[in-house]
Each structure stands twice: as structure tokens, then as C-alpha cells.
Chains A and B, each alone.
Chain A
Amino acid sequence: MPLLTRTFIKTALIYLTLALTLGIALALGITNGLFPVYIHLFVFGWLTQLIFGVVYWMFPKYSMQLPRGYEWLGWVTYGTLNIGLLLRAIAEPLQASKPNNLSGALLVVSAILQWLAGVVFIANTWHRVKEK
């Protein structure tokens, strides 16, 4: 299993734990704009990140020279996804309860980074979706 895949999957497992823990907090009545964070830790941090890691590992070869495409694009996906998500986890509750310029700016940066993560993943994966 390539290093990038192992990194994606282990990180996804951490997000699964974080999401479930946040779920307990929500069940205890601690809200403060945390529900969207909970959902996105689950579907983006755990599920989508797990998918990204396994797809990078398993999909048909891009080429003989670059069997998994451009690895640096994979790392860019990893970085932008996780930084974007972590920024969201900090900024979104702040923006909901005590909106300020910093939390607002972080939210916009988070939105851009998460979008970039998906776009870069698609660009690096598209040509691996092929008949063998």
C-alpha cells in the first residue's frame, strides 16, 4: 500500500473518531454551529478521504512510467483537504456564534481549499478511469 494511501486512510480513521466524539458532544446539547462540522468530518474527513486513498491505490494504471499518476498531486489533495477541513472546524462554529473578520476569512480560505482538494483529485484520477 503506497505511503500516500496509508496516510489518507489513517487520517480518515482519525476523522471518524473525531466525528463520533463530536456526535457525543452534540447529543449532550453542545451545538454552537457544530452540526455542519460534524457532518463534514464524517462525509469529507472520513468517507471521502478514505475513498481518495483507496482509489489512488487501486484504480487502473495511468501509465507504465507513472502508474498512479502524479504523486505530488495526491499530496496536494491530501494537504488541501485536511487544512481546509481543519480550518472549517475552527472557523465555522466561531462564525456562527461570534462572527468576526478572522473567522470569516478562514471560512473563505477553507471553502477554496476543500474545493481545490476535489478538483485536484479529479484531475489526477480522471485518466485512470479506463478499461484495462
Chain B
Amino acid sequence: MPRLSVWFVRFSLIHLFLGLTIGGLILANKRIPFAPWTWSLLPAHMEFLLLGWMVQLAMGVAFWILPRFRSNPPRGNVNVVWSALVLLNAGIVMVVIQPFVSMGWLSLAGRFLETSSVLLFVLVSWQRVKPMEA
């Protein structure tokens, strides 16, 4: 597994933990209303799990597994994919904290970063989606 994939996957596991913890608190709160404020974390729960866990894991594994180019670099421009990693995680953090700070633009900016991350990843990875060479 290339180092960049290691980073993607470890971050995805951290997001899985955060998303599940929040989800567990929200679900338990339905029966024992120990913390009504947990409902305000529902968007964070979804963001951590859908973007942070699933999309990020998919990116990390795809970077590792997709057919490689014959020429160097074999997995495309690694710097662009590093940028995608940073943008995705920065975007998730911005979206998650926006409800708790008085910066209304933060969520939009976060989504923009997340979208940019995926677009960059797609640009680098598109041509790796090819038939296996005989």
C-alpha cells in the first residue's frame, strides 16, 4: 500500500470512529435524553461517515489498486493527490464546525474544498481506469 493510501485510509478510520461515536450518542439519546444537544451533531455524523469514511476510503484504496501507468510516476501526479487529501479533510472540518461558530461562509467553503478534492482526484485517476494489459 503506498504511503499516500496509508494516510487516506488512516484518516478514514478516524472519521469512522468519530461518526460512529456521534451516531451512537444520538441514538442512545432517543431513549435517554441525557444530551439534547447531540441532535445538533447530526450533520457532523453524516459528514464524518459519508465523506470522511466512505469517500476517503474509496480514494485511498483506488489510489492503491487502480491499474498503474507504464511510465513514471506509476500512479499519476502524487502531489495533486496529496492536495486532494488535505482539501478533503480540511473541508470536512470546516463543514462540521460551522454550526458552532459564527462564520456562515465556513460550510460553503468547506464544501468547495471537498468538491475540489474529488475533482483533483478524478483528474489524476481517470486514465487509470483502463483494461488490464495483456
Interface residues of A (CB under 8 A from B): 43, 47-48, 51, 59-60, 88, 92, 95, 103-105, 107-108, 110-112, 114-115, 118-119, 121-122, 125-126, 129-132
A76 to B20: give the CA distance in the assembly, Å.
17
Chain B: interface residue total (CB-CB under 8 A): 24
Interface residues of B (CB under 8 A from A): 1-3, 6, 9-10, 13, 16-17, 20-21, 23-25, 27-28, 30-32, 49-50, 53-54, 57
A23 to B40: give the CA distance in the assembly, Å.
26
Is there an interface contact between B31 and A122, defined as CB atoms closer than 8 Å? Answer: no
Interface contact tally, CB-CB below 8 A:
68
Is there an interface contact between B28 and A130, defined as CB atoms closer than 8 Å? Answer: no
Q: 5 A–B contact pairs at CB < 8 A?
A: A60-B1, A111-B27, A114-B24, A118-B16, A118-B17
Kindly list 14 other residue pairs between chains A and B, CB separation below 8 angstroms, not including A104-B32, A108-B27. A51-B54, A88-B27, A107-B28, A107-B31, A111-B27, A111-B28, A112-B24, A114-B20, A114-B27, A119-B20, A125-B13, A126-B10, A131-B3, A131-B6
